[in-house]
Amino acid sequence: MATNNDELVAENLDRYNYAVQRGHRDYIDQAQLCEQFYMGGGGQWDSNTRDLLNGQGRPCLEFNQIRHKIDAVLGYQINNRVDISFRPRSSDADQEIATTLSKLAMQIADNNQFHYKESTVFADGVIQQRGYFEVRMSYEDSILGEVRIDTLDPLDVLPDPDAKSYDPDGWADVIITKWLTKDEIAVLYGDKDLDDLRDGVYQFGLDEQHRNKFGNSYDWASTGQGDEKKSTERFRVIDRQAWKMDRANVIITKTGDIRPVDNLRPEVVAQMVAEGCIQQKRNVRRVRWTVTTEDTVLHDDWSPFNHFTVVPYFPTFRRGHTRGLIDDAIDP
């Protein structure tokens, strides 16, 4: 494990570049091609072919036979959404507890507009092979914390290139690459010394293509021009969650479950021990959460969660290979 800021920054950047070279760049090329075929509007034509035909005075006609078929699939998903509910199964579970949990799940779903986000992730998977939720606790709106469910752009998520498991517990790590302003960084990670960072137009790390956005893909970096408003400059942030081994204080419950006690209040730990649980030090597999910019460590600590916050959806999955519905529709 890296021991200082420079090593942490280098480790995150090296891992990011490795993931880009080991398949993420190829995935982005295919995902963007699939999206262009779905959106149409001239995007189904290769730019070189279009220039050739225009030079010959031949029209570049496009009959988009893909979008309305995919839209029908997306509509089917919307009409067949399901709600989460619980049923008592064993031990002390009863219908009253199940009903309470069902109502809690519905309240969390409503707060997060889950049905809309579920359809967004489904559309990402159908069109671009991969969709991702991010599930975590948020303290922005409540000091007590609440479950937050967001969607991630699949082009911004870099799964472990050497893994072949659908379940992220089988991945060594996962990276989310973000473009944030200084104010957004301050809100998420506290005030940091970012004065030495280059202008936001500078993209450190390997270039793995432009991201989707409301603006066009004009390359400011190649012209030496940038956003004159410093408050809206954006900087690449590498957000990495990785499994690490740690010698940690844990609680072993009466059912044999092993849980780190870092995030438990002392009185809670004392009560569990009084009830027969065992407290000891053990080597455990935990999630290390490290967030860096070009030369600054924004966050580095053990994750408060037992798993990665990234939850994937792949319509077709086979040992690390993903496919959507448009991949096979392009050739016909």
Cα–Cα distance for residue pair 278/213, rounded to 1 Å: 52
Q: Which residue has the higher pLDDT, 204 or 29?
A: 29
How many other CB atoms sit within 10 Å of the CB of residue 237? 22
Q: Taking 80 as the threshold, does the pLDDT of residue 219 lie above it?
A: no
Q: Given its phi and psi angles, is residue 40 left (phi above 0), alpha (psi -120 to 50 degrees) or beta?
A: left
Say if residues 209 and 203 touch (Cβ distance below 8 Å): no
Mean pLDDT of the chain: 87
SS3 sequence, 200-235?
Answer: CCCCCCCCCCCCCCCCCCCCHHHCCCCCCCHHHCEE
Which pLDDT value is given to residue 261? Answer: 85
How many other CB atoms sit within 10 Å of the CB of residue 176? 20
- Which DSSP symbol is given to 131? E
pLDDT band per the 50, 70, 90 thresholds, residue 45: confident
Reported pTM: 0.86
Highest mean pLDDT pick, 40-44, 63-67, 178-182: 63-67
Q: Taking 70 as the threshold, does the pLDDT of residue 134 lie above it?
A: yes
Say if residues 260 and 249 touch (Cβ distance below 8 Å): yes
Q: Is 293 helix (H, G, I), strand (E, B) or coil?
A: coil
pLDDT (tens digit, 9 = 90+) per residue, 273-308? 999 999 999 988 999 999 998 888 999 999 989 999
Which pLDDT value is given to residue 201? Answer: 45
Cα–Cα distance for residue pair 158/99, rounded to 1 Å: 38
Say if residues 61 and 46 touch (Cβ distance below 8 Å): no
Which pLDDT value is given to residue 202? Answer: 47
pLDDT (tens digit, 9 = 90+) per residue, 6-43? 899 999 999 999 999 999 999 999 999 999 999 988 88
Output b/e per residue, 307-324; b: 16+ Cβ within 10 A: ebbbbbbbbebeeeebbb
- Beta-bridge partner residues of 317: 322
pLDDT (tens digit, 9 = 90+) per residue, 314-327? 999 999 999 999 99
HSE (CB half, 13 Å, CA atoms) of 203? 15
